[in-house]
A and B are shown apart, each in its own frame.
Chain A
Amino acid sequence: MASGKLLRLWRLLRLGRRLCGAAVFILLTLLFVATGDFLPVWAHFTARLQLVPALLAGFWLTLALLLLATVLFGRVYCSFICPLGILQDLLARLYSWRKKREFHYRPSSRAIRLGVVIFFLGALIFGNSVLVTLLEPYSLYGIIAMHYCKQGWIVLNNGLSQYVPLASFFGLYPLPHSNLALSSLLIATFLAVFFSVFVWLRGRDYCGCICPVGTVLGWLGRFALLRIRFDAVRCVHCRRCEQACKTSCVDSGRQLIDYSRCVTCFNCLPVCEHQALAYRLPRLIEKAGNSTLILALKGQVKKPSGPPLLDAKRRQFVGLHLAAVAGMGGLVLAQAKAGIAGSTVATGGQEAGQRAITPPGSRSRAHFSRRCTACQLCVASCPTRVLRPATGEYGFLHVLQPRMDFRHGYCNYDCVVCTQVCPSGAILPLTIQEKHETQAGIVQFVQHLCVVESKKQSCGACAEHCPSLAVKMVSYGKVPGLTIPVITPDLCVGCGACEHACPVVPDKAIYVQGLLVHQKARILPRGQELHQQVEGFGF
């Protein structure tokens, strides 16, 4: 009677986890698939709930909530909110579609886990870089989603819009692909393949043995109030729970659970036919009547949760961490060097010394690099495709952090989408007025390359695209009507419209030089409507 009820409760818990995970996963994926402000603002909570972005953005309330949830319920973040975790759950489920896959207990390497965490925290403290990007689970998922979910949808959409009759009636029209880089595509492909294979081989061992967020949450998870606990008397060591555990943290033989790795997926609970597992409070809060249970708990409490560290292992452990710290130091130096290297000013053509431009709202290269986890949400959302993952433009340590690239488009003057979607505070929210006053780069004009100078022909493409009058045309030479651009740099916002429109190849005659620290742009007042009494036609 009671056991049936419990079984139903465990199934309900598992169902709840699956539904919540699915909802978060679908919404978050849609966030990456949608462009512009297509989705309502509330859908962004799925990105705002992510732990590392919240930490970087200084969303302390979100962070406190996540940590509190972990102390109360265990690593729920990993199963309910983390998109990479849910992706691995989905893959694991896919792999056991035909034939049930069985997992078994495996100890984790404490040295690797700690090493990764130290590396990760060091990278966070000393300035964000590829080390954070390539370990942080939300960003890893973001990279995969932007390259595969979004581009996949675009391929499908474009097929539909071409071959389905009345496609335009349903609002289907061809979409351009995001502004990808070869490096980003390679990294995304590597990640997609890595996780597909790794989940096949080891289930969610990434979450248990590598992920730094998982390890930190695991420290708290070990002391969680509600935990999955063994009833030693009831357990018959049938290993069903162990086989169901995707993180390989249940040891049915010794009746142990490595709580630092348990992601509270609840898969082990409903499979136990003897009610030997329960997700419940510790003994202090329970009724003291059930003596067998208390004994069992006592026995469990005394046991260490991980394998003991041997002397040799300890030495290895210390050595590894020393190496990690040394590595960090080297990286910091390399970063400092890269920062200086980026400050040359162009003299000749555009390619000679153009410095990469961080998106408006990112304040400075330093602010941006420190906070951006390269999740690609801004790249995916950018309606004009001006944002593109960097390869070496910020230095190779900051690969995949987005930069402004004017090959396919330019930054729309009245668009603030990227500043609104960034969950980690790398691109801070701007109002349209604030954006107009933000100078992310400064226009540079190379007159000898200009069509007007070199061919003595009219053009004006740069000035016509300039939204802030930083580029305008003035009379030039003796040819009637011939005009040449003049620039007013303090009006420039660095949107790149002029550079995009300039027809000169290969080096543009007008381009935007990135600023290491964004400045305030002067803005002109909005135009007036002059009501003039027009009497004649003029002809």
Chain B
Amino acid sequence: MRRRDILKAIALGSAAAVIRPFDTFDVLAQTGSTAASGNADLVAALGGEPAEMLHQALIELGGIERFVKSGNQVVIKPNIGWDNTPEEAGNANPELVGSLVRLCLDAGATKVNVLDHTCDQWSACYKNSGIEAAVKDAGGEMLPAHDQRAYQEIELPRGKVLKKAKVHRAILESDAWFNVPVLKSHGGAGITVSMKNLMGIVWDRGYFHWHDLHQCIADICTLPKAPTLNIVDAYRVLVHGGPRGGRGKDVVVAKGLFASTDIVAVDTAAARFFGQFRNMPLENIGYLRKGEELPVGTTDLDSLKIKRLKV
């Protein structure tokens, strides 16, 4: 299976290289032929299945080997906050998480742990999101994160409001970790993407809500053990009524994916993408500007080398 996946990835990657000249929306990007000379800062993929888009995006970013070395302990932190089905789009896409687990193992990771400090009852979230099954199928392991003893307090000297936080040990002890949020609307924060997803590695979320949510979200992004790569799942987008999916909440099958090491940039890109479905000015998403001020990244997409892929 794994060999086949690699072959598929290579085939799709070369296919993408062929298609690229026809991508008329590629106006703002660097010149089309730079893929070989340097890695993109931010990759946006559109129109494919989650696994395909992930494979291609990683190729543009320099391959999974750039992030995962042989013998590494890897942690993946998808959004598994809700007891939702994959179709309800409250959680990251299970197919995406599963194929990322497989890629990490193929790159030589000794262990891939997947965890989230869920909002709904954790085992129901793990199970009904489809992520548990996908991860186990791929050879990874689900790690519970509902027990305070699994968390360790760390200092956040660069944080403005959030000066310390209890972060899950598996993240702190990992060699590489992937932040895999799902793009969706959020009643309090506008939208939730990579930065907001970090609330799921923290024990006490109530503090965030009580002490300026946007500033705390920006502050947690200053943690020394920053995510190795942020991969935003925008395959199904919960446009209204998020972040919990469910009754009365329609989902747009947008088939998008964004990836970058710059957590603010990838969220800015995702926010712009989201703006196509619903009016969402960037100034409404307070943590983006606050993140840029700290700084933990940039909202200036023009300063980045962006790769746009149509799969």
List chain A positions with a Cβ less than 8 A from chain B.
36, 162, 168, 173-174, 176, 383-384, 409, 412-415, 436, 451, 455, 457-461, 463-469, 472-473, 480-481, 483, 485, 501, 503-505, 523-532, 534-539
Given known A-B contacts A458-B286, A529-B236, A537 and B253 have beta carbons under 8 A apart: no
**How far is A238 from B185 in the complex, measured between Cα atoms in Å?**
83
Considering the complex, give the chain B residue whose CB is closest to the CB of A385: B121
Scan B290-311; emit 1 where CB is below 8 A from any A CB, else 0. 0000000000010000001000
Considering the complex, give the chain B residue whose CB is closest to the CB of A173: B144
Beyond contacts A162-B149, A473-B188, A524-B248: 9 other A-B pairs, Cβ-Cβ < 8 A, are A176-B146, A176-B147, A384-B121, A457-B212, A458-B286, A468-B247, A528-B251, A529-B250, A537-B308
Distance of A436 from chain B, by nearest CB (Å): 7
Q: Are A481 and B245 in contact (CB under 8 A)?
A: no
Distance of B189 from chain A, by nearest CB (Å): 6
Q: Are B253 and A532 in contact (CB under 8 A)?
A: yes
Considering the complex, give the chain A residue whose CB is closest to the CB of B281: A480
**How far is A414 from B129 in the complex, measured between Cα atoms in Å?**
13
9-residue interface stretch from B8-16, B93-101, B173-181, B266-274? B266-274
Q: Are A467 and B246 in contact (CB under 8 A)?
A: yes
**How far is A361 from B147 in the complex, measured between Cα atoms in Å?**
30
Considering the complex, give the chain B residue whose CB is closest to the CB of A169: B141
Total interface residues on B, CB under 8 Å, equals 66
**How far is A451 from B215 in the complex, measured between Cα atoms in Å?**
14
**How far is A469 from B243 in the complex, measured between Cα atoms in Å?**
11
Q: Are B209 and A413 in contact (CB under 8 A)?
A: no
Contacts of B121 in A (CB 8 A): 383-384, 409, 412, 415
19 pairs across A/B with beta carbons < 8 Å?
Answer: A162-B149, A173-B147, A174-B149, A383-B123, A413-B246, A415-B124, A451-B209, A464-B188, A464-B242, A467-B244, A469-B247, A472-B241, A480-B284, A501-B206, A505-B210, A529-B251, A537-B308, A539-B272, A539-B301
Given known A-B contacts A469-B247, A524-B248, A526-B247, A538 and B119 have beta carbons under 8 A apart: no
Q: Are A458 and B188 in contact (CB under 8 A)?
A: yes
Given known A-B contacts A464-B244, A465-B244, A532 and B210 have beta carbons under 8 A apart: no
Contacts of B277 in A (CB 8 A): 532
Given known A-B contacts A384-B121, A529-B253, A537-B308, A467 and B247 have beta carbons under 8 A apart: yes
Contacts of A162 in B (CB 8 A): 149
Contacts of A383 in B (CB 8 A): 121, 123-124
The A-B contact count (CB < 8 A) is 167
**How far is A472 from B255 in the complex, measured between Cα atoms in Å?**
27
For residue B159, CB closer than 8 A to chain A, the reply is: no
Considering the complex, give the chain B residue whose CB is closest to the CB of A537: B44
For residue B120, CB closer than 8 A to chain A, the reply is: yes
Q: Are B241 and A469 in contact (CB under 8 A)?
A: yes
- Select one of A174, A384, A459, A523 contacting B213, CB under 8 A: A459
Given known A-B contacts A383-B124, A536-B25, A524 and B247 have beta carbons under 8 A apart: yes
**How far is A463 from B274 in the complex, measured between Cα atoms in Å?**
20
Contacts of A473 in B (CB 8 A): 187-188
Contacts of B119 in A (CB 8 A): 464-465, 501
Contacts of B123 in A (CB 8 A): 36, 383
Considering the complex, give the chain A residue whose CB is closest to the CB of B187: A473
Given known A-B contacts A451-B209, A481-B284, A469 and B141 have beta carbons under 8 A apart: no
For residue B252, CB closer than 8 A to chain A, the reply is: yes
Given known A-B contacts A383-B124, A412-B83, A472 and B250 have beta carbons under 8 A apart: no
**How far is A314 from B213 in the complex, measured between Cα atoms in Å?**
74
Distance of A238 from chain B, by nearest CB (Å): 59
For residue B158, CB closer than 8 A to chain A, the reply is: no
Considering the complex, give the chain B residue whose CB is closest to the CB of A460: B188
Q: Are B272 and A538 in contact (CB under 8 A)?
A: yes
Contacts of A536 in B (CB 8 A): 25, 276
